[in-house]
Amino acid sequence: MPRLCKPAMSAPEHVITLEETLEFAEEAHAGKPQLPLALRLIRNTGVKKRHIVQPIEKTLHHPGFEERNRIYELESKKRCPEVIERALANAELTARDIDAIIYVSCTGFLMPSLTAWLINKMGLRSDTRQIPISQLGCAAGGAAINRAHDFCLAHPGSNVLIVSCELCSLCYQPTADDIGSLLSDGLFGDAVAAAVVRGLGGTGIELERNASYLIPNTEDWISYAVRDTGFHFQLDRRVPGTMEPLAPVLRELAKDHSWEAGSLDFYIVHAGGPRILDDLAKFLEVDRKVFRHSWATLTEYGNIASAVVLDAARRLFEEDAPLPGATGLIAGFGPGITAEMALGTWADDSPPSAG
C-alpha cells in the first residue's frame, strides 16, 4: 500500500512574536470599535510566534497585487527546492523516481503552475504528472495526501511528491479591519513543506482509506474576495463550530474501516485554531493531548494553512516512532467547508538494528 514518508518543512527567517503582533494591531487600528475583541481573540489563539518571508516593515506595506504576486513567485522558487531535496532524502528516493507532483498553495497564483518550474529545476522526468491545487485552502494538505494515495492506487508502484508553499503574509491587507481579517492577521504564518507518498516500501504511514466531506451550504464561511489589492480573507464567525458536524463524519469513516475514531494511536489534524482542536477532542471524546503535534505547530508557527498536516506529521516521525501497525487519522479542514480525511497504519521496512 502507498506510504506517506517523513515530511520536510522550512519556515522563513523573519519572526514576529505575539507581543509584536498585538502592538502592530493596536497601532494600525487604534480607535476601531472591534479592536478590543480582535486583540482578545489573537491572545487566545495560542500562537507564540510566526515566521514571514519579508521583514515586518515590508509586510505591513502593501505595494499592490502585482508586486505581491511577483514576491510570491520569487520566494516560492527560492524556498521550495531545498525542502523538496530533504523530503526526497527522507523517502530514500531521487527526483527521477517521482511519477507525479502535487503542488498546493492558496497564497499566490502562477500559470503555468510552479510544478512546471520544479520539474525543470529539480530534474524530475518530463513525463511527471502535474496536479496543482490552489483553492482548497487549509484543507489542501489533507487533499494532497489523499490524491497522492488515489494516484498510487491507480498506478501501482508510483511515487508522488507533495509540495505545500503557503506565504500567508503576502495576503495581508492593511486597510481590512473586520474581525475575521484582524484575527487572521494574528493567526496565519508562512511555511514550505514537502513529503513523498511511496507506492512501495519505505517507512511511514501506510495509507489505507480516504474520504472527503462537504458541510452543506457553508461555501461562503471561508472565502477570498478577489479585489484590486489581491486576496481578502473572509471568515464567518460560525467556522469554529464546525467540528460538531464533522466529528460524526470522522467517526463513520473509522467505523467503516472497523476502527474506533476515539481510540487510535496517533492523530494528524489541521490546526486552524484552538477552538478547532478543543472541539474535536470534545466530540471525538479524546484527550486534547492526542493533538500535541498540531498544537505544537500552531504555537510555534501559527496556522500555516495546507502545510499544517505535513508539519504535524513530521513531528510524529521525530518523536519515538509508533509501533508497527499503530493506527492513525489524518484530517485537514478548509473552505467549502471541506474535510479531507485519511486512515493509516505505521509501517517500517527498515532492517532491525544489530543487537
Active-site amino acid positions:
138
* Residue 99 φ/ψ, nearest 5 degrees: -105, -20
SS3 for 329?
strand
| Segment holding 313, helix H or strand E | helix 308-318
Give start and end residues of each alpha helix (H) in 44-157: 56-60, 65-90, 114-122, 140-154
Contact predicate 160/19, CB 8 Å:
no
CA distance 294 to 272: 9
Q: What Cα–Cα distance (Å) separates residue 330 from each residue in 66, 94, 142? A: 36, 26, 7
**Where do we find the cell 516512532?**
321
Bond prior to 337 in cis (omega within 30° of 0): yes
CA–CA separation, 218 and 336 (whole Å): 6
Q: What share of the chain is helix, strand, coil (3-state, %, to 5)?
A: 45, 25, 30
Taking the CA atoms of residue 293, residue 296, residue 300 and residue 303 in that order, the dihedral angle to the nearest 10 degrees is 70
In angstroms, how far is CA 191 from the centroid of its own chain? Answer: 9
Angle, helices 65-90 vs 114-122, to 10°: value is 40
- How far apart (Å, rounded) are the C-alpha atoms in residues 82 and 63? 28
